[in-house]
Structure 1
Amino acid sequence: MSSSKVAVVTGSNKGIGYAIVQGLCEKFDGVVYLTARDVNRGQEAVAKLNQLGLKPSFHQLEITDESSITKFRDHLVQNHGGIDILINNAAIAFKRTATEPFSEQAVITNSVNYYATLKVCDILFPILKKNAKVIHVSSSEGHLSKIPSATLRSQFNDPSLTVPKLNQLVEKFIQDAKNDKHKEAGWGTSSYAVSKVAVSALTKIQQRNFDQETPNRNISVNSVHPGYIKTDMTGHTGFGTIEEGARAPLFLALEAENLKGQYIWKDGTVAQWDAEKPPAPF
């Protein structure tokens, strides 16, 4: 079993995740796992980094497939004993021109961005090493102000919120979407925003849970808005490069100290998650 430190980046064969892996390979003193649901695409991404003189490891990981996550966990335990850095980057977003019914978009988006991320955490959190760092790659859309209803915002921001109660909130959104009542119920018109607000709320719950652990492993969990970046997800309409999008996640992974349960902006500063509006520029 290797004694090296280990970093894992989900959904990292392209885009911001790929740039995060590249940055970790350049600066992190340990093993860096590039993961992808498609083995060929993952291996092609590794080969590109090899050409730069970088040597990430690869493992298949489909975050919506519990057996895939479990196989990866077992591999990590057997070969490394656990994880030091976990960056949850994998996510999806429907384009504005998508023709799928909103109810379908609500189900699929939250199944991946929220529920699959939660499943990754449930399976991999037990193998986090002492002083490990967890970073959820969120979005400006993950700011609480993206939920129009003050009542819903207060529920997401409840300091006693638990994962089961958060699940109920997400399920309520999905049901309202299926009944075409999401607007009148105060959810707004973006299933992506709801999924990322849920991840931001999950960040705070997870940090509270880690803080109450006995023995305490001193684990930090933060969410981060990487900026509006030119990627396939944004249809390459963003403003920044993938390298710029990787900066704040890399800061949290490699440099930040004493940041726990926070919502971090693209410049590495702590943003007030429950402010009336998110910081600018996006």
Structure 2
Amino acid sequence: MYHSLEGKIALVTGSSRGIGRAIAEGLAANGAAVVVNYVGNENAAQEAVAAIRENGGKAVAIRADISSVSDIRRLFDETEKQMGAIDIVVANVGVAVIKPLVEATEADFDHVFGANAKGTFFTLQEAARRVRNGGRIIAVSTGGTKMFFTQTALYLGSKGAVEQFVRVLSRELGPRGVTVNALSPGFTDTDLLPERDRAVAAGMSPFGRIGAPRDVADVAVFLASDEARWLTGENIQAGGGVA
């Protein structure tokens, strides 16, 4: 266990399943009270909350669409109302449209950038306004931004924007002792990784496997801990050595 997060309040967007859920569970296991955010799958969110509570943690589920600025602000309002002042924010929401750049539509662009870029930007904005001094802000990007993949222009472009938001905000919040970092998973066992790509992805890691959500979540827990107090403005790769 890292430095205890006991007494800390954490908000994790997009945390009803996958990496987000693993991060929420990891923060709760280290003592934080956690808000599990979801947009459509209430059952999955309540299952995540139940799992945290069964292990002795504290959690609630709050619905909000991160592509909506008013919903983001309401999410933060409700978090403060139900839990108290916020110490940790993990901006985890991510959607993807996989197709060649020349085939992407305006609707595709608006969908992906609306959630990944716009949604993360305004989540970071609210986090900057509300996180207590000495707090932690983590934005989930992707290891894909340092690679060359076809059919991923929308996804990687939107995540590249997130990485720049982090660099700028880390400078703006440094005087308050708030760290701001990007966390970039590699190939991970979630529904964003197509079945057809899994064998190839596993072969790209020195470990010979794809990542588990907990592999990434443990890095997020570290970034939320006191041990990470001297890290800010960084893009932490959590990809099992894939380069």
Under TM normalisation by the shorter chain, which class is it? 0.7 to 0.9
**Aligned equivalent of 1:11, options 14, 18, 34:** 14
| 1:21-170 map, 5 Å | 21-27=24-30, 29-38=31-40, 39-95=42-98, 101-143=104-146
TM-score by length of 1: 0.70
Shift of 1:246: 1.4
Q: Which amino acid aligns with 2:137?
A: V
Q: Is contact 1:113-1:196 (8 Å) kept?
A: yes
Residue by residue over 1:130-189, the C-alpha shift from the partner in whole angstroms, topping out at 9 and shown as x without a partner, is: 10111111111233x659xxxxxxxxxxxxxxxxxxxxxxxxxxxxxxxxxxx9xxxx96
CA 1:244–1:196: 2 relative to 1, 3 Å? same
CA 1:42–1:258: 2 relative to 1, 3 Å? same
CA 1:78–1:55: 2 relative to 1, 3 Å? closer
Q: Which amino acid aligns with 2:68?
A: D
Aligned to 1:204: 167
- Between 1:67-76 and 1:14-23, the stretch displaced more is 67-76
Where structure 2 has 5 or more consecutive residues not aligned to the other structure, the ranges are 1-5, 202-209
- Which secondary structure does the structure 2 equivalent of 1:62 belong to? coil
Q: For residues 73 and 181 of structure 2, what CA distance do their matches in structure 1 show?
A: 23
- Which secondary structure does the structure 1 equivalent of 2:132 belong to? strand
TM-score by length of 2: 0.81
Q: For residues 262 and 50 of structure 1, what CA distance do their matches in structure 2 show?
A: 32
Q: For residues 19 and 69 of structure 2, what CA distance do their matches in structure 1 show?
A: 24
Where structure 1 has 5 or more consecutive residues not aligned to the other structure, the ranges are 148-182, 268-278
CA 1:54–1:128: 2 relative to 1, 3 Å? closer
- 1:253 equivalenced with 2:224 (yes/no): yes
Q: Is contact 1:142-1:199 (8 Å) kept?
A: no
User: Looking at CA atoms only, which structure, 1 or 2, has the larger radius of gyration?
Assistant: 1
CA 1:104–1:76: 2 relative to 1, 3 Å? closer
Residue by residue over 1:13-47, the C-alpha shift from the partner in whole angstroms, topping out at 9 and shown as x without a partner, is: 000011111111111x3311111113333113222
Q: Which amino acid aligns with 2:81?
A: Q
Q: Which amino acid aligns with 2:135?
A: A
Shift of 1:50: 3.6
Q: For residues 183 and 148 of structure 2, what CA distance do their matches in structure 1 show?
A: 15
Percent identical among aligned pairs is 28
Q: Is contact 2:11-2:79 (8 Å) kept?
A: no
- Which secondary structure does the structure 2 equivalent of 1:129 belong to? coil
Q: For residues 55 and 83 of structure 2, what CA distance do their matches in structure 1 show?
A: 25
- 1:217 equivalenced with 2:176 (yes/no): yes
CA RMSD of aligned residues (A): 2.9
Residue by residue over 1:26-79, the C-alpha shift from the partner in whole angstroms, topping out at 9 and shown as x without a partner, is: 11x331111111333311322244444443222222211223222222223334
Matched residue pairs, number?
Answer: 224
- Which secondary structure does the structure 1 equivalent of 2:93 belong to? coil
- 1:281 equivalenced with 2:209 (yes/no): no
